[in-house]
Amino acid sequence: MLKIIIFVSLLAATKLVSSEYIFKGFDDTFKPEWWQSNIIYQIYVRSFKDSDGDGIGDFNGITEKVDYFKSINVGAVWLSPIFKSPQDDFGYDVSNFKMVDPLFGTMADFDRMRDAFHERGIKVILDFVPNHTSDEHPWFVKSVERKEPYTNYYVWKDPIISENGTRSPPNNWLGVFNTGSAWEWNEVRQQYYFHAFQVKQPDLNYRCPMVVEEIKNIILFWLGRGVDGFRFDAVNYLYEREDLADEGKSYKVGILDTDYDALVHNHTLDQPETYEMVRVWRELLDDYSTSEHKTNFFMVECYSPLNNTMLYYGNETSPGAHFPFNFLFINSFDQQSDAYEVNDMIKSWILNMPKNKWPNWVIGNHDNSRVASRTNPLLVDGLHMLQTLLPGTPITYYADELGVQDTYVRWNQTVDPAGRNVGVLRYTKFSRDPARSPFPWDNSENAGFTNGTKTWLPINPEYWHENLVQLSKFKSHLRTYRQLARLRQIPTIIKGDLHVYVLSQWVFGFSRSFYDHPTFFIVINFGSEIEKVNIKAVRETLPETLKVKISSINSGYVTGNVISSKYVILRPKAALVLSTAKPNEDDIVSFSEDN
């Protein structure tokens, strides 16, 4: 009996401490492309900076703040949709892909903003919407009237007519925004059209060759205007099963039959033809890049199972997107997640990527609650350490570098269709408005976002102390982010190997090492109790002491502290970046707590 108890105890101890080598770095000849070496920063244009007092962000407002991006070492910005739009879904319903919406300014304003970024070495990426248009787009208006060549630009189908003459949609498919049926009857054409999202967002028909050519033409138009790449929205919705078979029920608890999640979407998502279309777009961008002697880039959005998501990379002989978004830390991480789960998430992405592909890390975006609200405000620094120091490209959602939380939006203030469609009793579950509040620049009226009297969404009430000016004055999430953004430019982070470590149930660690450069060891306590860990036990080659390079705001340490590698004390939710550099050694990037 005693032997059994000892054996079980040893198993438990073995499980609690583990290390693994999961990513082989590069040699000194590796020259990363700009989209590999830089932070990509998502600007939600409506909420960034308003220059004309109408309460909505615009191009000139962004241009005013271009130097801010240099101050946080951002190398590329991704703009939410700027195309002409009725704004039913805030720009994701496009009525003209070759015009900018007057809400944001003129094309000349856009050009000035683009040039201001390029003058500072910052790339510009556009959010492109290939799956659908607005029902006010001229293509759709002409398709309704069956005017060639637009007749089949959209997914039109005849109704099902019952024996008593009742008309019904072609199948049971549902709209993403909980609109009920994904089919809408059109009296003029006497057919249903398919809309995966809003009724005012009819889906394009990619089985029509003319649609494919139109989209290519739009991509080339914007490349010709000097943009550096694209984020392709909702790519996994491009094609639907051609025979229109019904989708099966999901049997999920707590949802209505009209909710999107009531069905399993194997007939409307990630169809085989979609991957081929992504490869067509990659070939187009690569051909343009070759002719212009510059690298153009695109990433794709797909909330899909991991095995389907990886297919959007393509392969070495037939490449797809430069990368699909990695949403594991949005979909799977919450306050219950421990070190084992974090370890599994990182390994899941890196070990399942096709050969020679590049990772990316996303912890926030415009469709989800802010990271500080989804997890814990004190974990923001630790999650930014993960995002910026793991191999791959970090993508930052605007103002997450400040650690801002969701803004409460009352029902009578709600504008997001995803929230309004479900009504007052359920809107807080579905609305995306709380994560889209205007950027808090300072503690003046309306947080310095606008000189007008009203903002399109409420300002976060914490703006009086959680704003850019205030957070720049003392140790803060913003200062930690700036330090991380500088550190990730060194060879060890861009080119180095990766080891991952589970140091206890709640403490996760990883190290980055590169030839004769200093090694960096990152430790994060995801738990709610103080933890004492011995990192030398899992990496014996570490020296007896390590230098604190960067510390979270709640860690109790500051840059330059020297601590024992055998006895690292971590407060709840605290995180550290430790370096093997000697106290007097220059390890390429040096900065003080004031930076």
**Helix, strand, coil % in the chain, rounded to nearest 5:** 30, 20, 50
Q: Which DSSP letter does residue 422 get?
A: T
Structure tokens at 294: 């510059």
Please name every residue paired with 548 in a beta bridge, in sequence order, or none if there are none. 578
Phi, psi of 503 (to 5 degrees): -90, -25
Q: In angstroms, what CA-CA distances link 11 with 4, 8, 15, 20, 339? A: 11, 5, 6, 18, 17
Among 467, 442, 437, 435, residue whose Cα is nearest residue 455: 437
d(CA 133, CA 138): 10
Structure tokens at 486: 């500088």
**Beta strand segments in 464-587, E:** 497-502, 507-513, 520-525, 531-533, 545-551, 562-564, 568-570, 575-579
- Of 50, 127, 228, 233, which one is the catalytic site residue? 233
Cα 589 to chain centroid distance, Å, stands at: 27
Phi, psi of 477 (to 5 degrees): -60, -40
Structure tokens at 313: 């990379």
Contacts 24+ apart (CB under 8 A), 254-259: 256/178, 258/174, 258/178, 258/180, 259/174, 259/178
**Is 301 labeled as catalytic in the residue annotation?**
yes
Phi, psi of 321 (to 5 degrees): -65, 155
d(CA 220, CA 223): 5
122: left (phi over 0), alpha (psi -120 to 50) or beta: beta
149 preceded by cis ω (within 30°)?
Answer: yes
d(CA 310, CA 303): 11
**Is 233 labeled as catalytic in the residue annotation?**
yes
- Of 301, 433, 531, 587, which one is the catalytic site residue? 301
Please say whether the beta carbons of 321 and 277 come within 8 A: no
CB burial of residue 539 (10 Å; 0-12, 13-18, 19+): middle
What is the set of active-site residues?
A: 233, 301
